[in-house]
Copies of this chain bind each other. A is one copy, B any other.
Amino acid sequence: MQPMTAAELRARCRDGSYAGPTSGHASGIVQANMVILPAADAVEFREFCALNPAPCPILEVHAPGDPEPKRIAPGADVRTDLPRYRVFRDGVMFDEPTDISALWRDDLVTFMLGCSFVAEAALLEAGLLLPHIQETGFVPMFRTTRPTVPHGRFHGPLVVSMRPFSPPDAARAAAITAHYPMAHGAPVHVGDPAALGIRDLAEPEYGRAVSLRPGQVAVFWACGVTPQEAILNAKPRLAITHAPGHMFVADITSESTRV
């Protein structure tokens, strides 16, 4: 299908004519991981994010009850403008609707968290992403033995994504991604997976395995699955997120998040 602009994609989600994945659309625009929590859970989760900025980069937090991302997409409505949602009750997935208007409450707080798309686009632009990563379409992700800094009921392991590079390309990739803290920033580790407690690169917890070619090193970045696992561990009465791959498409450009 034809790539859509951010405004087109959100409008088609809103009128119910699109419910597919967001990758490939709105090139150069930030796509966000979305988390919605009741206020009492939100205040704990906010602090968990502040204590773990690499896996949980905060683009925007809405005032309670406000469905409009005033900073990253003024005029948008998080209740209707994503293609698909996941609804969790007490930490268990309950439904995967395409509209959450009926669930909305005055105490719900929306978090927009950065995702790795922006950093991956910058790597691609520098000629750095390798063909076989492009082929599987899914980066491998691993639970580590490194804990996040817990806060209240929110806790869990740091989850990382892995991309293989030659040593000089690994250094370039580190330098490039360091400019995008809202897309998880610089790598958290380069080299031996055992240093993160990862036993086997062939068995990722999420995504698909990618093997290292001779001479390549594994480069690990903090991953947006980290806050998702912390939310499941906290078991809030209600949590609403985007469905995997069905992100919130904002209006701000990727370049505006470069530091």
Interface residues of A (CB under 8 A from B): 39-40, 42-44, 46-47, 50, 58, 61, 63-64, 66, 107, 109, 151-153
Contact = CB atoms under 8 A, between A and B. Distances in A.
A75 B152 CA distance: 16
Main SS of chain A's interface residues?
mixed
A100 to B, nearest CB: 19
Contact of A64 (B50, B61, B152): B152
Contacts of A153: 63
A134 to B, nearest CB: 36
A42 B42 CA distance: 9
Task: List the 9 closest pairs (A to B, CB-CB), nearest first.
Answer: A63-B152, A39-B40, A43-B43, A47-B61, A42-B43, A39-B39, A39-B43, A40-B64, A44-B63
A58 to B, nearest CB: 7
Nearest to A152: B63
10 contacts: A40-B40, A40-B107, A43-B46, A43-B61, A43-B63, A46-B61, A50-B50, A50-B61, A63-B153, A64-B152
A182 to B, nearest CB: 14
Contact of A46 (B47, B66, B107, B152): B47
A63 B48 CA distance: 10
Nearest to A66: B152
B63 A109 contact: no
Q: Most B CB atoms within 10 A — which of A46, A63, A151?
A: A63
B58 A44 contact: no
Q: Most B CB atoms within 10 A — which of A42, A43, A47, A61?
A: A43
Contacts of A40: 39-40, 64, 107
A145 B208 CA distance: 55
A52 to B, nearest CB: 14
Contacts of A47: 46, 61, 63
Contact of A151 (B44, B50, B63): B63
A58 B50 contact: yes
A114 to B, nearest CB: 14
